[in-house]
Chains A and B, each alone.
Chain A
Amino acid sequence: MDIAFIVAALIAVAATVRVITCYNIMHALLYLVVSLLAVAVVLYTYGAPFMAVLEIIIYAGAIMVLIIFFVMMLNLGLETAEHEKAWLRPRIWIVPGIFCVVLLGELLYLILQNKQPSAGIQVVPPKQVGMALFGPYLIAVELTGILLMAGIVGAYHLGRQHKKTVHRFLENNLNT
C-alpha cells in the first residue's frame, strides 16, 4: 500500500507541475486530469474509496470535461501557445518560486517537529459517509445546497436572453 501511495503521490506532483509549465492549454488540462486521477488513488490508499470515486466522477468526469469542452470551442491553437511562452519567461517564476520554497520549508519543519506515528488506516464505507452528512453535518449540507441553488439562479439570470423579434417588419413596428 505504501508503494502504491508513493507512486500515486509522485505522479500527482509531477502532473501538477506540468499543468503549470505546459504551454499548450489542452495538454495542461490533460495533465490536470491525470493529477486528479492520481489524487483519487491516494485517497483510495488512505481508506476513503468513496471519496476517491467521487473525485473521479465529479472532478475528472464532469468538471474537467466541461472545461475541456469550452477550451475546445475557443479553438486555441499554436498562437496561444506562443503567447503563453512569452508570458511565462523565467523572470516571472522568481517570486512564486520563493513563496513555494518558503511554504515547503515550513511544511517540512512542521512534519519533522512533532513526528507522530501515522494514524491507523480505516476504510470508510459509503453508508457511514451518508450517515455523517445527514446526521451531524445536516445544516452544512443544506446550506451548501442553498448556496448552489443561488448560483444556478444567478447563472440563469445572467445567461438569459431577451426574446428577439426575428421579423424585420415586427421589429420596425416595435421601434415606432
Chain B
Amino acid sequence: MINAWWIIGGVLFVLLNTAAGLIWLERRMLALWQDRYGPNRAGPFGLFIVLADTLKLFFKEDWIPPFADKVVFVFAPAVVVASVLMSFVIVPFAPGIVVADLNIGILFFLAMSSLGVYSIVLGGWASNNKYALLGAMRGASQMISYEVFMGLALMGVVVLSGSFNLQQIVESQRTVWFVIPQLLGFLIFMVAGVAETHRLPFDIPEAESELVAGFHSEYSGMKFGMFFIGEYLGVTLISAMVVTLYFGGWLGPSFLPPVVWFAIKTFAFISLFILLRASMPRPRYDQLMEYGWKVLFPLSLLNLLVTAAIKLWLVTK
C-alpha cells in the first residue's frame, strides 16, 4: 500500500500539469484540424507556449471592478477548481492508487459536480454586468438540467455492478466493459459531461459571439486563469470518469502497467473533447434545453428501467 500523502501529491502534480499541458495540446490539435501550424515557435514543438501564457496571466493587471461584489467576485473562481479537484479524490487510477476509497464514490462525484455550478452563478452575479448575468443564468439552468441526466445515466452502471464504489465498478468490468451493455448510458453521460464542463458545442454560458465572454467577462489575470484551469481539469475529470465507468478503468492487456492503460484511455477521451470543439456548431440556448428535457431525459429513464428489468430477470431466473 502506498502512503496516502504520496498519492495525493502525485495526483495533484499530474493533474495540474495535465491542465497546463492541455493549453498547448488544444491549440496544436485545433490548428492541425484547421490546416494551420498553431503555436510552434517557443521551445520544442512550441511547448513553452504554456509557460508564456502562464507568465502573461500572472503579470496582467488583477482588476476587480468597482461595481462588483468584491468577496464573492474573488471567491467564485476558486470554487470551480476546488470542486473539480475534490472529485478526483474518488477516481481509481490503478488498483490501490486512489485517494479515498469511498463507499459512495459516484454520489460524491455527483455532489462535487453539482457544487461546481456555484462558480458560474456567483462569478456572473458578482460581476454586476448584464452579459455576465445572462451567461450565469444560462450556465445555471444548463448545468442543473444536465446533472439530472448525468446522474440517471450513471445509475445504469450502478445497477449492473451493484455498487457505488468505483474500484468495484472497475473490477466488475473484467468480463465485458460497460460500454457494450450500457451504450445508450455512455452516450448520454458523454453529452451531459460536455454540458457539465460547458465546453463547445455546449459553451453557451460564455458564447463569445453573443455575450462577450459570458460569466467571466469582467475577470482578468489569474482569476480568469482559474476558470480556464478549472475547465481543463473538468475535461480531464469527465474523461477519467468515462474511462472508469464505461471503458474498464485500468484494465487492459498485461504488457503495460494499469496506470498507463488508464492514462492512455483518458487521453483518448480528452482528444475527443478537443475534436468536438473543432467540429461542432453551437446550438441555441432553447434548443439545448429542449434537447435535454425532451430527448435525453426520457432516454435515460428508459435506459435505467430496461437495465434494471433485465438485471432483475437475470437474478431471479
Which residues of A line the B interface, CB within 8 A?
A: 26-27, 30, 33, 49-50, 53-54, 56-57, 60-62, 65-66, 68-69, 72-73, 75, 123, 125-126
Bound complex: CA A72 to CA B129 (Å) = 12
> In the complex, what residues of B have CB within 8 A of residue A26's CB?
69, 72, 125
> In the bound complex, what is the Cα–Cα distance between A27 and B122 (angstroms)?
10
In the complex, residue of chain A having the shortest beta-carbon distance to the beta carbon of B124: A72
Measured between beta carbons, the chain B residues less than 8 angstroms from A73 are: 137
Partner of A72, one of B71, B103, B137: B137
Pick from B102, B103, B108, B137: contact of A69, CB under 8 Å: B137
Give the interface residue-count category, chain B: 20 to 34
Partner of B108, one of A53, A65, A75: A53
A60-B79 Cα distance, complex, nearest whole Å: 13
Query: In the bound complex, do residue B140 and residue A53 qualify as a contact, i.e. CB atoms below 8 Å apart?
Result: no
Contacts A49-B102, A53-B108, A61-B117 aside, 4 further interface pairs with beta carbons under 8 A come to: A68-B121, A68-B140, A123-B103, A125-B103
Q: How far is the CB of B122 from chain A (nearest CB, A)?
A: 8
Chain B residues 275 to 310 lying within 8 A of chain A, measured CB to CB, are: none
B111 within 8 A of A: yes
Residues of B within 8 A of A27 (CB): 71-72
Q: How far is the CA of A30 from the CA of B144 in the complex (A)?
A: 18
Across the interface, do A126 and B107 meet the contact criterion of CB distance under 8 Å?
yes
B104 contacts A62, C-beta separation under 8 Å:
no
With both beta carbons as reference points, the residue of chain B lying nearest to A77 in the complex is identified as: B128
A125 CA / B164 CA spacing, docked (Å): 10
Report B108-157 residues with CB < 8 Å from chain A CB. Answer: 108, 110-111, 114-115, 117-118, 121-122, 124-125, 133, 136-137, 140-141, 144, 147
20 contacts between A and B (CB under 8 A): A26-B69, A27-B72, A30-B122, A33-B118, A49-B103, A49-B104, A53-B111, A56-B114, A61-B110, A61-B114, A61-B117, A65-B118, A66-B144, A68-B122, A69-B121, A69-B144, A72-B125, A72-B137, A75-B133, A126-B164
A-B interface, 3 closest residue pairs, ranked by CB to CB distance from nearest: A61-B114, A56-B111, A53-B107
Distance of B264 from chain A, by nearest CB (Å)? 31
Distance (Å) between the CB of A158 and the closest chain B CB? 19
Chain A nearest CB, measured from B30 CB (Å): 32
Decide yes or no: A65 and B104 within 8 Å by CB, A56-B111, A57-B110, A57-B111 being known contacts. no
Task: Verify A65–B144 contact, CB threshold 8 A.
Answer: yes
Query: What is the CA–CA distance of A60 and B125 in the complex, to the nearest angstrom?
Result: 18
CA distance A44 to B72 in the complex (A): 28
**CB closest residue in chain B, given A37:** B115
**A28 → B minimal CB distance (Å):** 12
CB distance from B99 to the nearest CB of A (A): 16
Chain A residue at minimal CB-CB distance from B121: A68
Decide: A57 and B107 in contact? CB cutoff 8 A: yes
A66 CB contacts on chain B under 8 angstroms:
144
Whether A54 contacts B107 by the Cβ 8 Å rule is yes
* A28 to B46 Cα, complex, angstroms: 48
A68–B102 CA distance with the chains assembled, in angstroms: 30
Q: With A and B bound together, what is the CA distance between A68 and B133 in angstroms? A: 12
Q: Which of B136-189 contact A (CB under 8 A)?
A: 136-137, 140-141, 144, 147, 164
CA distance A166 to B147 in the complex (A): 35
Asked if A57 meets B137 with Cβ closer than 8 Å, knowing A65-B121, A66-B144, A72-B121, the reply is no
Q: How far is the CB of B6 from chain A (nearest CB, A)?
A: 24
Chain B residues lying within 8 Å of A125, measured Cβ to Cβ, are 103
B104 with A50: CB separation less than 8 A: yes
Closest to B141 in A: A69
Contacts of A72 in B (CB 8 A): 121, 124-125, 133, 136-137, 140
Docked Cα-Cα span, A72 to B102, in Å, equals 35
Q: A54-B107, A68-B121, A126-B164 are in contact. Are A62 and B141 (CB under 8 A)?
A: no
Residues 75 to 104 of chain B near chain A (Cβ within 8 Å): 102-104
With contact pairs A53-B107, A54-B107, A69-B141 given, residues A30 and B114 touching in the complex (Cβ less than 8 Å): no
Chain B residues near A126: list those with CB within 8 A: 103-104, 107, 164
* Residues in A whose Cβ lies below 8 Å from that of B69: 26
- Shortest A162–chain B CB gap in Å is 20
Q: How far is the CA of A69 from the CA of B117 in the complex (A)?
A: 11
- C-alpha gap A57/B140 in the complex (Å): 15
A56 CA to B110 CA in the complex, in Å? 9
Least CB distance, B125 to chain A, in whole angstroms: 5
B140 touches A69 (CB 8 A): yes
Q: Which residue of A lies closest to B75 (CB)?
A: A30
Residue of A nearest to B69 (CB): A26
Instruction: Report whether B103 and A57 are in contact in the complex, using a CB–CB cutoff of 8 Å.
Output: no
